[in-house]
Every structure is written in structure tokens, then in C-alpha cells.
Amino acid sequence: MQALLQFGRNGLRQQAQSKYLSQALRGYASKELTVRDALNSALDEELARDDRVFIMGEEVGEYQGAYKITRGLLQKYGAKRVRDTPITEAGFTGIGAGAAFAGLRPIVEFMTFNFAMQAIDQIINSSAKTLYMSAGTISSPIVFRGPNGAAAGVAAQHSQCYAAWYSHVPGLKVLAPYDAEDCRGLLKAAIRDPDPVVFLENEILYGSAFPVDDTILGKDFTLPIGKAKVQREGKDITLVGFGKMVGYNLEAAKELEKEGVSAEVINVRTLKPLDRETIVNSVRKTHRVVCVEEGWPQSGFTAEIVATVNEECFDDLDAPPERVTGAEVPMPYAANLEAAALPQVKDVIRVAKRCLGR
Amino acid sequence: MSALLHQLPSSCQGYAPRPSVPQQGLKGSAPQVQCRPTRILSHRTLAQAVSAPPAAPEKSKGKDKPKQQKSLTPEVAKDLYRDMFLGREFEEMCAQMYYRGKMFGFVHLYSGQEAVSTGVLRAMRPDDYVCSTYRDHVHALSKGVPAKNIMAELFGKKTGICRGQGGSMHMFSAEHNLLGGFAFIGEGIPIGLGAAFGVKYRKESIGLEGSDQVVASFFGDGTCNVGQFYECLNMASLYKLPIIFVVENNLWAIGMNHPRATGPSDPNDTEPHIWKKGPAFGMPGVLVDGMDVQKVREVAVEAVARARAGLGPTLIEAETYRFRGHSLADPDELRRKEEKEHYAARDPIPQLKKAILEGNILTQDELKEIEKDVLAEVDAAVQFAEESPKPDKAQLLENVFADPKGFGIHEDGRYKYQMPGFSSGNSALV
């Protein structure tokens, strides 16, 4: 166990060193960072930068994070800034909200956003509305973060996407990173932001590695909240998504390219405030759009995108906007049913082709 | 992953009685280990527990054993041993099947805690209710759900008790009054209380004389910090509902040690005592050795009788331990070897075996026969699960609404569920 703690404490540095070493051996190969390490390093740097920042939640300290996102932070910053809480979502989220009112900058980790339902009152009634209710006198600089959406085989109560829920609420900012760049830039921006931010991660992506450069690894690298990214340029059709679905859309774009279709992929990054301009500009160029999300269709996040496109560039459309979403059922456990309940790359391709009239 | 298997206390692999670890030696070798002293309180009646909470913990386990325990009848002994042995073997088989990729997601095993499930549920009637957590396989077994249907559920097969729609954490059986495995902490407590409310309502407001079921509500030490626990203790007491709250205190809420999460209930206490919260809400609070099925059973029989007689709820804290990590995905790095050994030495299954043989209740051969029978049942469950078909794709859209009109009306005026191919299921909107 001692050895494991040791790894926790020095793991990141050792990993980083061995990475640099192997890169030196390989020559000019680009650097890679996993989503887990991107989140961990962002937390680490922001804890170091501002002593008002602290992290609280279940298993964030001694256990090193249920998904090891907070690995090594307890050893570095101590139990007062990396605080293990009992299993009391409403309780500790409320404490976080109050601490933010009192001038601290809490980061509340939910083991999964499914559990945040037990603290929905603290997130919406306490955190999102207080600035307004107090006529701008009490602000709530707090980050709620954790994995959101479907993992694998964890069934109905652990597999829900809350993007639509939170992005409905005035007063909240809602971010959903896809790759390592997003995780570092958006999480650091969220922690520095003066408003309550809901930060929706994806468990499946935690272990995925993405290329990064020195800018992204810089201590002051942040991404603007409220700005989408054109992840891949194209001219025939626009694929819009956030989080894990950006990866699916990129895969679909690659497949479509083999058939001569040039697809543009938009990584929404910030669900609220939504960057309507980037989406609309892309649709004006391609004239077709497919919106993809893992959540349920009715009142879903993609419904908002479709509405936006219809409102702002209806005349530019050559085909009705399309959606690919999760099936409107509680997540089944059986693997075959689970796969059927979630969007797959082949669904994106099929619907994109339908939108293209192919 | 396979490393996990090697970390297990050896008691998980066999049931030979082990010599108990002396308390002194344990303290001497690792003073920082927070092992609870063994407390045997089941001999206190519930009435005594309310009026005079035990003053000092009893340090010696052996002292009061011979005179306190009533001997079991051979039938009861067989039932208890069979149920506990089945619980253990089933869970150990689950671990194997999980590592072979036959089941997936989160799988939380019950190994080590069998005396609680068996002690409580085998003392109840088949029509009594049980409400469980995500660690629910063994509660379902004790309640009488066939092992093969639980295993098939874990394999994600059509023949599972929830047709593969529930999975490990969501075992439900209307036939067995199993109200569910609930994955959220504290979620099941008001559900169980609602069932108890229903029993009383049917009797008093509808006049159904036979409505006298009792609800057993299981949850862990970590759950006792959740608001729903306190809200429900209050309402159970307020409405005098027929429920027993069974806290399976296994000392760890994933990686959070119980005393790190829960404060004391008395200014003079230096450690938390969940059972003391009972009297604060006007109900008996009892602490019982949850590694001793006979003691658990004795407490449960009394609490169930109270509830059935209309005398209201009881809070039982069963001191127990899980022999494996929180789930099969848990690296289990925080629990000390000494602590695990301490509890492995109190493994409830060899304890019961020893008591049965020493009391000449059953013979070695009779116990062997039970073990053989259980092993065959578990093997058959795996074979059944393996050979069962996957759910049909059409199942995806079934059970979302009791009335499929709930899916709404299609553009052409028909209900959506009436459209050809509707239930073929596809994630893309049609």
C-alpha cells in the first residue's frame, strides 16, 4: 500500500518524466496527455495558484478519487484543501455553495452526476439563483464536476446525461470537454470563473490520450467559456456534438470522407452560454446539419441546436436538421440493449447520409 | 484485476474455522487500526435496549456465549447454513464470472456479511418485504429468488429476474416482495418505509385483517449520514410503521472509514454508535454481532414480532465486514491487512458450522450434503445463465410505460407504439 501511495504522490511526475524520456528517444513525436491527467494537472495548478480553491467530495482524498482524477492532490495540498466528505450529496454540495457565498472557490466532485440529483436543490436553488436573488451582491464561484452520461454496463441509475437539465437553468454555466486540451483549458477557466459552473466529464474518456503542445500545458492556459471549436473543417454537412460524441462525429466524418463527403465537426464545448454563431456559420456554409447527443431526445440538448438552426438560418438549409440521440428509455443493463439505446458511429453515418439524400 | 483475487482474505476460499486473532496481539502489532471491539448485545431484549442502553462494551466474546444462545433445531440450522453457504458461493462465483467478462458494470459482493441477510430474512415470512441496496444479490437469495435467475440477470440475459434490464444493482421481484436493489445511498429507505405504510394502511384504512407484513430495510453505515435516514426514522416512529431498519455496518463506505464519516451520538462517546440513534427517534436501537447468524436471528425475531404486533419500528446495527473491496472495480488499498484478518477470523460461516457440530445439531455428513447441493445449484445457475438467450431487441422499448400509449401519438394520428416495427428499437430518431 505504501508503494501505491508513493505512486499516487509521485506518479504524475514519474509519468511525465518517462513520457519526455520516451519522446526524446523517439525524436519529434508529439506529446500526449490522457483526459484523466489533463483534469488532474488543471486541478493541481489551480489549487497551487489560488488558496481559496479547495476540492471536496466523496473519496477525493485518501482514496485518490473514485476515478483517480484527484490522484496525488491530498498528499500535495493536505486534508483541509482536499476534503473527504461523508456520503451526503445534499449536505456537502450545500456546504460548498455556502463556502462560495463566503468568498471561497470550492470544487465539488460528484462521483457521478447521477448522484448530483440528490443535490439538485443546492445546485439550482442555492448556487444558480443566489446572485440574482441577492441583486448581484452574493456571487457563487463554484465548480460542480464529475462524470456525466453513460458509462458501460452500469444500468439505469448510473447512466443518465444531464446536459439538457443543467443547460436549462439561468445562472449556471455548463461545460462539456472532449479532449485533453478542452479538459485543461475549460476546467482552469471554470475554476477562475466568478459564476457556478457545471463541468460534465465522461468516464469512458478518462483513459483516452490526446496530443497536446506546450501552449496547452502552460500554467495559464485557459479556454474561453462560451466559445465552440471547429474540430474538423468540412463543406458538405455539419456534425454537432459535445463530449464523447465529438469523437463519434470525427469517426463518422472519417468514414464519410471515404465516400466523398466532407463533414465539418463542431465541438460545442460550452453548452451554456451556447455559441450559436459558430454553429450557425457552419450550417450557412454546409447547408445541412446532424446533431448528436447521448441524452434523451425530448427537450434534449440537440433539440435546442435544431431550434437555433431553424430560427437563425432556416433559409440556408437544404434538408431538415436531423438528430441522433439516446433512445427514450431508462438505460438497460444487457450489453446488446445498452448499445441499442445509445447513438453509435454507424447511426451518425446513416442519419448523415439521409440528410445528404444519399 | 487478478491481483485483487490474491488480496482476498483466505477465508473467502475455504470455510475451515480459523483461530481467532487475539485483540491484544492486534493492537500490539498495529495500534492505529480502528477495529471495533467485539460487542455481543443480542441477549438484551429490545425493551431493555430502549430503557437501558448498554453501558460498557463486552470485551470477551466467549464469556456469555454458552448461556445466552438457544440451540437451533436441525431444520433451522440446515436452512441457515444452506442460505449462508449459498450466499458466499454465489458471490465468489460472481467474482470469477466478472473477471471472465461474463458480467459487467459495477458488481458489489456480499461475502462476509451473510449472517445479516440470513439472520434477518430467514426469520421472516415469505410475504414480508425486503428493500435492498446495490449490494443486493444475497438479499435476493435469502428472500427465495432462485439463484439461476439472479445469475442470468447478471449475465444480462432474458431469463434474468429483470430480463436483463436491471443488472447487478437493481434486483426486483414482485413475486418475492423484493422491492428492489437501489443504487443510490439512502434511496431505498423511504421506499421500504412506503411499503410499511401500505401494510398498515391496508389493515387500518381498508380493513384487510391479514395485512400484517413486516418490511426489512437494509443499508450500510455510510447511509446513516444521509438525510433520508433521519427523515425516515422520524416518520417510521411517528406513524408506528411495521419496519425494521437493518444497518449493515461493515466499517467502510467505499474508502471512507466509519469513524471518519460519522460523529458520536453521545457527548461521552469517542466513536460513532448508529444504534443509539434509535432511541433518539423513539424506537429501540440494538447493536448485534453481525458475524454471528444466531445472534442476528434472535434480534430479528424479536424486532419482527414487535413490528407485526403493531409496536412500531426497530433500528438494528449489525457489526459486520465485507471480505472484498467495495465493488469488483475497487482496488481496496485503504483497508489494513490486520483489520481484514481480524474479521476473517470471525467469518460467519465457519462460526455457524462450529456451533452446529459442537451442539450436535447436524452431523458433518449432513453439512457436507448441503455444501454439495449448493455447489451444484451455483454451477447450474452459471450453466443456465450461459445457455440463456440475450434479450430480444424488441425488449428495448418495453416496460417504459405500463400503458404504451405513453409513447405518444405519431404524425399520422396513430399511437407510436402501433406503428410497424416500433419496438424494434433504434437509438436514432425514426
Closest by CA position to A144, among listed A171, A181, A106: A106
For residue A350, count CB atoms less than 10 angstroms from its CB and return exposed for 0-12, middle for 13-18, buried for 19 or more.
Answer: middle
Instruction: Please report whether residue A172 resides in a domain.
Output: yes
Q: Using CB atoms and an 8 Å cut-off, which of residues 201-260 of chain B contact chain A?
A: 222-223, 225-227, 253-256, 260
* Reported confidence tier of residue B401, pLDDT bands at 50, 70, 90: confident
Contact present, A201 and A244 (Cβ < 8 Å) = no
Whether the predicted pLDDT of B42 surpasses 60: no
Q: Is A158 a catalytic residue?
A: yes
* Residue B241 near residue B196, CB atoms below 8 Å: yes
Tell me: the pLDDT tens digits for B218-261?
999 999 999 999 999 999 999 999 999 999 999 999 999 999 99
Nearest CA in chain A to B330: A66
Q: Cell 434477518 sits at which residue?
A: B120
For residue B246, what are the β-bridge partners?
B218, B316
**Which of A270-274, B9-13, B54-58 has the largest mean confidence?**
A270-274
Calculate the average pLDDT of chain A: 91
What pLDDT score was predicted for residue A190?
A: 97
Residue A28 pLDDT exceeds 60: no
Range in B137-146, B368-377, B398-407 with the lowest mean pLDDT: B398-407
Q: With contact defined as beta carbons under 8 Å apart, do B330 and B254 qualify?
A: yes
Which residues of B are less than 8 Å from A121 in CB distance?
none
Q: Does the beta-carbon distance from A87 to B428 stay under 8 Å?
A: no
Cβ atoms of A264 and A284 within 8 Å: the answer is no
Exposure of A248 by Cβ count < 10 A (0-12 exposed, 13-18 middle, 19+ buried)? buried
A297 contact residues in B (CB cutoff 8 A): 429
Segment B182-196 shows an average pLDDT of 91
Among chain A residues, the shortest Cα distance to B395 is held by A337
Same-domain check for residues A194 and A233: no
- Whether pLDDT at A284 is above 80: yes
Provide the CB-side half-sphere exposure for A146 (13 A, CA).
28
pLDDT of amino acid B393: 84
| Amino acid letter for position A62 | E
Q: Say if A224 falls within a structural domain.
A: no
Residue labelled with grid coordinates 470455510: B15
Listed residue (A10, A36, A152, A147) closest to B329, CA to CA:
A152
Q: Does B5 touch chain A (CB under 8 A)?
A: no
pLDDT of A4 reads: 32
Buried b (16+ CB within 10 A) or exposed e, B227-236: ebbbebbebb
Residue A5: is its pLDDT beyond 50? Answer: no
Is residue B144 in some structural domain? Answer: yes
| Shared-domain flag, residues A199 and A104 | yes
The grid coordinates of residue A85 equal 466528505
Q: Is B50 a residue whose pLDDT tops 50?
A: no
Q: How far is B353 from chain A (nearest CA, A)?
A: 34
Q: Both B239 and B342 in a single domain?
A: yes
The catalytic position among A46, A89, A294, A322 is A89
B198 and B307 together in one domain: yes
Is the separation of the CB atoms in A97 and A140 below 8 Å? yes
- Domain span at residue B400 reads 392-430
Q: Flag whether B165 is in a domain.
A: yes
* Whole-angstrom distance, CA of residue A311 vs CA of residue A322: 15
Given a cut of 70, is residue A88 above it in pLDDT?
yes
Same domain for A288 and A254: yes
Residue A314 and residue A255 share a domain: yes
> In this structure, are A170 and A23 located in the same domain?
yes
Please state, in angstroms and rounded to a whole number, the distance separating the CA atoms of residues A159 and A203.
Answer: 10
Q: Give the cell for residue A36.
A: 484523466
The secondary structure of B98-113, three-state, reads HHCCCCCCCCCCCCCC
Would you tell me which residues 298-327 of chain A have a C-beta closer than 8 angstroms to some C-beta of chain B? Answer: 322-327
E-assigned strand segments in A78-127: 82-84, 105-109
Q: Among residues 83-122 of chain A, which lie with CB inside 8 Å of chain B? A: 84, 86-88, 90-91, 114-115, 118
Bridge-partner residues for B91, per DSSP? Answer: none
Over residues A70-81, mean pLDDT: 96
Choose from B103, B189, B256 for mutation: most chain A CBs within 10 A. B256
Q: Give the pLDDT confidence of A212-259 residue by residue, as tens digits.
A: 999 999 999 999 999 999 999 999 999 999 999 999 999 999 999 999
Residue A346: all three cell numbers together? 454507424
Tell if the CB–CB gap between B427 and A341 is shorter than 8 Å: yes
Q: A180-194 burial by CB neighbour count: b if 16+ within 10 A, else e?
A: bbbbbbbbbbbbbbe
Which domain CATH number covers B308?
A: 3.40.50.970
8 Å CB contact of B334 and A326:
no
The confidence band for B30, taking pLDDT boundaries of 50, 70 and 90, is: very low
Is it the case that residue A175 has pLDDT exceeding 60? yes
Q: Do B100 and B173 belong together in one domain?
A: yes
Tell me, yes or no, whether B259 and B379 share the same domain. Answer: yes
Q: Three-class SS of residue B13?
A: coil
State whether A100 and A183 are in the same domain: yes
For A121, list phi and psi in degrees, rounded to 5: -65, -40
B426/A347 CB distance under 8 A: yes
Average pLDDT (B324-339) is 94
The CA-based angle A99-A104-A107, given to 5 degrees, is 80
Do B408 and B275 lie in one domain? The reply is: no
Domain match, B427 and B362 both: no
B residues 168-187 closer than 8 Å to A (CB):
168-170, 182-186
Residues A197, A289: one domain? no
Mean predicted confidence (pLDDT) in A338-350: 95
Domain that holds residue A90: 2-217
**Residue A223 included in any domain:** no
Q: Which residue among A62, A323, A334 sits closest to B429, beta carbon to beta carbon?
A: A323
pLDDT at residue B35 greater than cutoff 50: no
For residue A201, the SS3 value is strand
Q: Which residue has the higher pLDDT, A138 or A242?
A: A242
From A91, A331, A53, A68, select the one nearest A192 (Cα to Cα).
A53
Report residue A60 as a C-alpha cell.
477525493
Condensed to tens digits (0 to 9), the pLDDT of residues B67-84 reads: 445 679 999 999 999 999
Instruction: Check whether residue B87 and residue B146 sit in a common domain.
Output: yes
What's the rounded Cα separation, in Å, for the pair B167 and A337?
Answer: 12
d(CA A184, CA A233) in angstroms, rounded, equals 23
Q: Chain-wide mean pLDDT for chain B?
A: 84
- Enumerate the residues of chain A whose CB falls inside 8 A of the CB of residue B182: 157
Residues A10 and A141 in one domain: yes
Cβ neighbors of B287 (< 8 A, separation 6 or more) are B39, B41, B54, B273, B275, B317, B319
- % of chain B residues with pLDDT over 90: 70
B293 shares contact with chain A (CB less than 8 Å): no
d(C-alpha A84, C-alpha B402), whole Å: 42
Q: Region of A303 please: left (phi>0), alpha (psi -120 to 50) or beta.
A: alpha
Closest in B185, B396, B400 to A87, CB measured: B185
Residues 389-408 of B with CB under 8 A from A: 390-391, 393, 395-397, 400, 407
Helices and strands (DSSP H and E) totals, chain B:
16, 8
- Arithmetic mean of pLDDT, B305-331: 96
Omega prior to B53 cis, within 30 of 0: no
Residues 85-144 of B with CB under 8 A from A: 103-106
Task: Say how far apart CA B47 and CA A298 lie, in whole Å.
Answer: 55
The partner residues of B218 in beta bridges, in order of sequence, read B246
What does the pLDDT average to over B194-218? 92
Residues A6 and A150 in one domain: yes
Bridge-partner residues for B256, per DSSP? B253
Contact B218, B246 (CB under 8 A): yes
* DSSP-assigned letter for residue B252: E
With beta carbons less than 8 A apart as the criterion, state whether A296 and A163 touch. Answer: no
CA atoms of B176 and B259, how far apart (whole Å):
36
Give the span between the Cα atoms of B151 and B162, in whole angstroms.
11
- Using the beta-carbon criterion (under 8 Å), do A337 and B167 form an inter-chain contact? no
A264 in a structural domain = yes
From chain A, the residues in CB contact with B427 under 8 A are: 324-327, 340-344, 347
Domain boundary among A217, A252, A287: A217
- pLDDT, position B9: 35
* Contact between B237 and B282 (Cβ < 8 Å): yes
Residue B424 placed within a domain: yes
Mutate one of B151, B153, B429, B430 to test the A interface: name it (highest A CB count within 10 A): B429
Q: How many CB atoms lie within 10 A of CB B170?
A: 23
Q: What pLDDT was estimated at residue A102?
A: 86
Pairing of strands A263-267, B285-289: unpaired
Q: Is B130 helix (H, G, I), strand (E, B) or coil?
A: strand
Q: Which of A5, A90, A340 sits opposite B396 (nearest CB)?
A: A340
Q: How many CB atoms lie within 10 A of CB B338?
A: 16
- Domain co-membership, B426 together with B333: no
A47 and A153 co-located in one domain: yes
Domains identified in chain B, total number? 2
Contact B239, B230 (CB under 8 A): no
Domain holding A102: CATH number? 3.40.50.970
How many Cβ pairs closer than 8 A exist between chain A and B?
A: 153
**Residue with C-alpha cell 454537412?**
A237
In sequence order, the β-bridge partners of residue B285 are: B315
Cell of A182: 478542452
The predicted pLDDT at position B423 comes to 64
Residue to mutate among B249, B340, B396, B416, with most A CBs inside 10 A, is B396
Same domain (yes/no): A158, A52: yes
Residue B49, Cβ density class (10 Å: 0-12 exposed, 13-18 middle, ≥19 buried): buried
Q: Is A89 a catalytic residue?
A: yes
Task: Compute φ and ψ for B317, nearest 5 degrees.
Answer: -105, 115
pLDDT for position B407:
79
- B59 found inside a domain: no
Domain boundary among A192, A217, A242: A217
Burial class (CB in 10 A: 0-12, 13-18, 19+), B69: middle
Q: Residue A258's domain is classified under what CATH number? A: 3.40.50.920
Query: In this complex, is the C-beta atom of A153 within 8 Å of any C-beta atom belonging to chain B?
Result: yes
Residue ending a domain, choose from A217, A237, A263: A217
Task: Please identify which residue in the block is written with the cell numbers 448498554.
Answer: B54
Amino acid at residue number A309? V
**Neighbouring C-beta atoms of residue A98, cutoff 10 Å:** 16
Q: How far is CA A24 from CA A12, A213, A307, A312, B94, in A?
A: 18, 15, 50, 50, 46
Looking up cell 464519410, which residue turns up? A256
pLDDT category of residue B48 using cuts at 50, 70 and 90: very low
First-to-last alpha carbon distance for chain A, in angstroms, is 58
Residues A193 and A271 in one domain: no
Angle CA(A196)–CA(A198)–CA(A203) in degrees, nearest 5?
155
CB of A31 closer than 8 Å to CB of A213: yes
pLDDT for A272: 95
CB atoms A326 and B427 under 8 Å: yes
Number of domains in chain A: 2
Q: Reply yes or no on whether the pLDDT at B16 is more than 50.
A: no
Cell 460545442 belongs to A268
Task: Name the one residue in this structure whose C-alpha cell is 501511495.
Answer: A5
Question: A-contacting residues of B 305-334, CB under 8 Å?
Answer: 331, 333-334
Does residue B146 belong to the interface with chain A, where contact is any CB pair within 8 Å?
no
Name chain B contacts of A324, Cβ cutoff 8 Å.
Answer: 427-429
Answer for the pair B215, B200: CB distance below 8 angstroms, yes or no: no
Cell 443509539 belongs to B276
Among candidate residues B223, B219, B272, the one with its CA nearest the CA of residue B247 = B219
Catalytic residue among A59, A158, A251, A312: A158
pLDDT reported for residue B149:
97
Residue B395, helix vs strand vs coil: helix
The answer to whether position B21 is within a domain reads no
Across the interface, whether the CB atoms of B334 and A297 are under 8 A apart is answered no
